[in-house]
Amino acid sequence: MKKYVDVILPLPLPKSFTYSLPDEGAEEVQIGCRVVVPFGRKKFYTAIVRNVHYCAPTAYEVKEISTVLDTSPILLPIQFRFWEWLANYYLCTQGDVYKAALPSGLKLESETMVEYNPDFEADAPLTDREQQILDLLAQEPEQCVTKLEKESGIKNILNVIKSLLDRGAIFVKEELRRTYKPKTEIRVRLTPSAANERRMRMLFDELGRAPKQLALLMKYVELSGVLGGDTPKEVSKKELLLRADASPSIFNGLVDKKVFEVYHYEIGRLMTQTNDVMSLHPLNEHQQQAYKEITESFRHKNVCLLHGVTSSGKTEVYIHLIEEMLRQGKQVLYLLPEIALTTQITERLKRVFGSRLGIYHSKFPDAERVEIWQKQLSETGYDIILGVRSSIFLPFRNLGLVIVDEEHENTYKQQDPAPRYHARNAATVLASMYGAKTLLGTATPSVETWHNATTGKYGFVQLKERYKEIQMPEIIPVDIKELHRKKRMVGPFSPLLIQYIREALDQKEQVILFQNRRGFAPMVECRTCGWVPKCKNCDVSLTYHKGINQLTCHYCGYTYQLPRSCPACEGVELVNRGFGTEKIEDDIKVLFPEASVARMDLDTTRTRSAYEKIIADFEQGKTNILIGTQMVSKGLDFDHVSVVGILNADTMMNYPDFRAYERAYQLMAQVSGRAGRKNKQGRVVLQTKSIDHEIIPQVINNNYEQMVNGQLAERQMFHYPPYYRLVYVYLKNRNETLLDAMAEAMAEKLRALFGNRVLGPDKPPVARVQTLFIKKIVLKIEYNAPMSRARELLLRVQREMIEDERFKSLIVYYDVDPM
Ligand code: ADP
Ligand code: ZN
Ligand code: ZN
């Protein structure tokens, strides 16, 4: 009987697609295997088998799969369930989830290949760019478009390709490219004819006239033990040449004489070295108590909050919990909000767990991520995975515990593209599918988590003492509005902050300066007429970056030359407004020329090694002053920081979002926690223009509970989480008038179903991104209302909208539980 498979394609399709299997080899195809399938006109994709069955689809003509890529599944049954949950809850497709979940090396990519037509004769002169492409193809007759683009440097290469195709100069075809290549090593062995003792003896004689070749052969004999009688050991060419101090030409001489032959051997990229592991630090009395309460709460509840002040030793408690899990033969997933943090935690975990620990994050080379994925499928997967949000997609055979460190961090939420998931919330669902537990840890819980913990949905454990009773830092507010008025500010610094920095440097202590804007000036303005340069694609003002002397848009990344004069009034005085981390770095270098200064923000940490270097230099005291965005606030543990400066608290407080207050508190409390860790009380200078704001005393007195209770009261009153679930409906279109009509129509349909739970449509704070206009409709649904019903209604409205001829070009997407 003919067999069929339903597959998930890496495309935002509402349903799975059915293909037929070839009669031959059909029995090998299992659920969770990858297959290559044709889709659309001449396109191929790597799809994942969701189901194998005997029902031919009736609605469309079924195509046959092209290739089966796996003999065993690369996705475990629980992962399918997890994908389904994600797609349902976050209102996206399983194709979206698939794209986010798999490292790209596991997804073959379809590539346009260009092939030179040897029979081509030009009937009219070629353009320079056409000639350039043909010249490249003359060197290598078949190449992919991306490579041609890179080598030629031609921007709109597709136009050139198209005209060459029209002229008959080239052929074009679609081909699948295998992006993951196993890493191989060149190894050496004796040829079959050389591999016997008699021949070897003869060789030793013959090579008397070629002493270097003889020495190389002797070294091979020594390394491989080939004359010892046992099976010879594997010898890599690189190592052999290195050990014998021989050149490749000497080696090639022996290959020509048919003594050596080489072969490729597949080796992994993952580090397998086992370092000496150390035993755990014993927990102090408070930590022991917390440990006991956590394990106790896990008897009745799936999730537990560990609310511990900064430096209370939460990480030590995690380590003990992990140890216990491993003892029970279970796996642990340890989530961190940011790559910057993995370096320090990796060190601490490696010391205890050695090679049982695997690290997974997006700055890793893709091939390495593929190998980790494959390792986790095997029986010998890592017992602990430390990673950022995407590691929730890894296969686990026997997950027992998920730890979400710094659970309040908004980097756990993926903004764009879909799936717009929250890794903390998704992880608790994943854990429950495995029958595993989730521990959320932080010094400043999110309002939602606090609510869940205090109402008994989650277990709730507190650690109120810092380890070794290190004091909490002293926080000193400084009214910069007043200082500005009196002209006492030195650029962005108050006299008090400058004094403290100087004292710290004198005593060989370190300083962290926190400013939540990167770049040099968040805004440039014409002094004469007030003109502000804006992005042509997005509705935002541009940030000036001095290092590259350009204006950039932080939404779409587009860069612009700085104009010499104002295009509105031709005035030549363009002034910088506000200050970003880059400007602070500049100013601090002028004030403290003797200090060594580093900056940590998105611009200085594009690569993984850049992060590691900034952190290592600071840890080792090579840097005196570290300037950074929120990246410096997240759980980094430094020993010699005595002063922290918060340069401008107001930008955080005034952000137009219902979470601004909560987030401002968390950021200030977290960054203050970096001060004074080991031997003395640290000092924090909190500069603000709104000295009377109620958040200031809350931060100073470390009064988290007052902050959270105030927020909860407000959220209840104004129908926000955790009492109501938010769904943002985004509508996008290139045409603004059309978009307005669409948004109105959709809001009306939604109101008919959801009543006054619908707000808007409104313009979001950034109402245009990458040439698309945006409108937002907000849906507030009672927390206990069934989400499945809401989802059904939303999708029905969306279908109705798109069926309307006028609204065909509408783009709709959802953000569930927006951050
Ligand atoms: P948190 O995660 O709560 O911020 P950490 O676990 O990073 O706190 O602990 C802060 C510092 O105190 C770290 O340097 C850590 O090594 C040390 N520390 C905490 N608890 C212990 C312990 N029980 N034994 C030894 N050192 C500890
Ligand atoms: Zn002007
Ligand atoms: Zn832009």
Is the previous residue joined to 764 through a cis bond, with omega within 30 degrees of 0? no
For residue 176, is pLDDT > 70?
A: no
Residue nearest to atom 17 of ligand 1 (CA): 313
- pLDDT value at residue 647: 94
| Calpha distance 278→354 (Å, rounded) | 9
Pocket test for ligand 1, best of 350, 439, 637, 640 (most atoms within 8 A of CB): 637
pLDDT tens-digit profile of 308-359?
A: 998 899 999 999 999 999 999 999 999 999 776 677 888 889 999 988 999 9
- pLDDT value at residue 777: 93
DSSP one-letter code for 729: E
Task: For residue 670, give the nearest of 406, 463, 403, 314 by alpha carbon.
Answer: 406
Helix locations, 636-703, DSSP H: 650-653, 660-672, 695-700
Under 8 Å between Cβ of 428 and 393: no
361 Cα–ligand 1 center, Å:
24
| Calpha distance 550→561 (Å, rounded) | 5
Length of the chain: 819
User: CA separation (Å) from 62 to 3, 23, 33, 93?
Assistant: 12, 15, 19, 22
779 Cα–ligand 2 center, Å:
42
Burial-class residue 621 by CB neighbours within 10 Å (0-12, 13-18, 19+): middle
Under 8 Å between Cβ of 801 and 732: no
Mean model confidence pLDDT for the chain: 89
Record the tokens describing residue 233, joined without a space: 């050991």
- pLDDT value at residue 275: 59
| Calpha distance 75→78 (Å, rounded) | 8
226 Cα–ligand 1 center, Å:
52
598 Cα–ligand 1 center, Å:
26
Residue nearest to atom 24 of ligand 1 (CA): 281
Ligand 1 atom at minimum distance from 405 CA: 2
- Range among 67-76, 168-177, 699-708 with highest mean pLDDT value: 699-708
Q: Which residues, chain by chain, have CB under 5 Å from ion ligand 2?
A: 526, 528-529, 531, 566, 568-569, 571
409 Cα–ligand 3 center, Å:
25
Under 8 Å between Cβ of 648 and 492: yes
311 Cα–ligand 1 center, Å:
6
- The dihedral through the CA atoms of 566, 571, 573, 575 has a sign that is negative
99 Cα–ligand 3 center, Å:
25
Ligand 1 atom at minimum distance from 282 CA: 23
Pairing of strands 683-688, 768-769: unpaired
Judged by its nearest atom, the ligand closest to the C-alpha of residue 674 is 1
Pocket test for ligand 1, best of 286, 343, 467, 670 (most atoms within 8 A of CB): 467
Classify 122 as helix, strand or coil.
coil
Judged by its nearest atom, the ligand closest to the C-alpha of residue 347 is 1
| Calpha distance 47→53 (Å, rounded) | 16
488 Cα–ligand 2 center, Å:
29
Q: What share of the chain is helix, strand, coil (3-state, %, to 5)?
A: 40, 25, 40
Pairing of strands 683-688, 523-526: unpaired
Record the tokens describing residue 268, joined without a space: 């992994």
774 Cα–ligand 3 center, Å:
13
Pocket of ligand 1 (CB under 6 A): 281, 283-284, 287, 308, 310-316, 467, 637
Judged by its nearest atom, the ligand closest to the C-alpha of residue 557 is 3
Judged by its nearest atom, the ligand closest to the C-alpha of residue 677 is 1
pTM of the model: 0.82
Ligand 1 atom at minimum distance from 635 CA: 4
466 Cα–ligand 1 center, Å:
8
Rounded to 5 degrees, what are φ and ψ at 677? Answer: -85, -55
Residue nearest to atom 11 of ligand 1 (CA): 311
Burial-class residue 185 by CB neighbours within 10 Å (0-12, 13-18, 19+): middle
- pLDDT value at residue 448: 97
Ligand 1 atom at minimum distance from 287 CA: 23
Task: For residue 182, give the nearest of 296, 118, 267 by alpha carbon.
Answer: 267
Residue nearest to atom 4 of ligand 1 (CA): 311
Q: Mean of the pLDDT values across residues 175-186?
A: 69
Record the tokens describing residue 145, joined without a space: 């478009």
At a CB cut-off of 8 Å and minimum separation 6, what does 243 contact? Answer: 219, 223
Under 8 Å between Cβ of 274 and 409: no
| Calpha distance 361→334 (Å, rounded) | 12
| pLDDT bracket for residue 501 (50, 70, 90) | very high
| pLDDT bracket for residue 148 (50, 70, 90) | confident
Pocket test for ligand 1, best of 311, 351, 461, 462 (most atoms within 8 A of CB): 311
Judged by its nearest atom, the ligand closest to the C-alpha of residue 568 is 2
- pLDDT value at residue 438: 98
Residue nearest to atom 14 of ligand 1 (CA): 637
| pLDDT bracket for residue 177 (50, 70, 90) | low
For residue 499, is pLDDT > 90?
A: yes
DSSP string, 334-385: EE-S-HHHHHHHHHHHHHHHGGGEEEE-TTS-HHHHHHHHHHHHSTT--SEE
- pLDDT value at residue 707: 96
Ligand 1 atom at minimum distance from 639 CA: 14
- pLDDT value at residue 122: 81
Q: Which residues, chain by chain, have CB under 5 Å from ion ligand 3?
A: 535, 537-538, 553, 555-556, 558
534 Cα–ligand 3 center, Å:
8
572 Cα–ligand 2 center, Å:
8
pLDDT tens-digit profile of 721-772?
A: 999 999 999 999 999 999 999 999 999 999 999 999 999 898 887 788 878 8
CB burial string 754-791: b at 16+ within 10 A, e below: beebbbbbeebeebbbeebbbbbbbbbbeeeeebeebb
Under 8 Å between Cβ of 119 and 39: no
| pLDDT bracket for residue 180 (50, 70, 90) | low
What is the 3-state secondary structure of 474-540? EEEEEEHHHHHHCCCCECCECHHHHHHHHHHHHCCCEEEEECCCCCCECEEEECCCCCCCECCCCCC
